[in-house]
């Protein structure tokens, strides 16, 4: 599940972080890969099953 606000995205029930860079974040969720692109992307906090991202987001792609 994704909760999207202006400069914040909360991802719940993720399984694996694949990529974390300042311009792209990718994680596995169920049988999908979520790719989030933007600027200054950082993890604000994370736990075993959720992640809060901050940044200037430009796209979210499910594959």
Model confidence over 2-13: pLDDT tens digits?
999 989 999 999
- The range of the structural domain enclosing residue 23 comes to 2-62
Query: How many domains, in total, are found in the chain?
Result: 1
- pLDDT score of 42: 97
Give the tens place of pLDDT for each residue, 35-59: 999 999 999 999 999 999 999 999 9
Please state, in angstroms and rounded to a whole number, the distance separating the CA atoms of residues 15 and 50.
Answer: 9
| pLDDT at 1 exceeding the cut of 90 | no
CA nearest to 40, candidates 5, 13, 7, 63: 7
CATH number where 15 lies: 2.60.40.2000
Global pTM reads 0.91
């Amino acid at each position: 599940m994704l909760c999207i606000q202006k400069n914040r995205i909360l991802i719940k029930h993720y399984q694996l972080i694949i990529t974390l860079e300042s311009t792209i974040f990718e994680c596995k969720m169920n049988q999908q890969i979520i790719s989030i692109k933007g600027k200054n992307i950082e993890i604000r906090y994370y736990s075993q099953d959720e992640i809060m991202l901050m940044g200037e987001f430009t796209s979210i792609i499910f594959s």
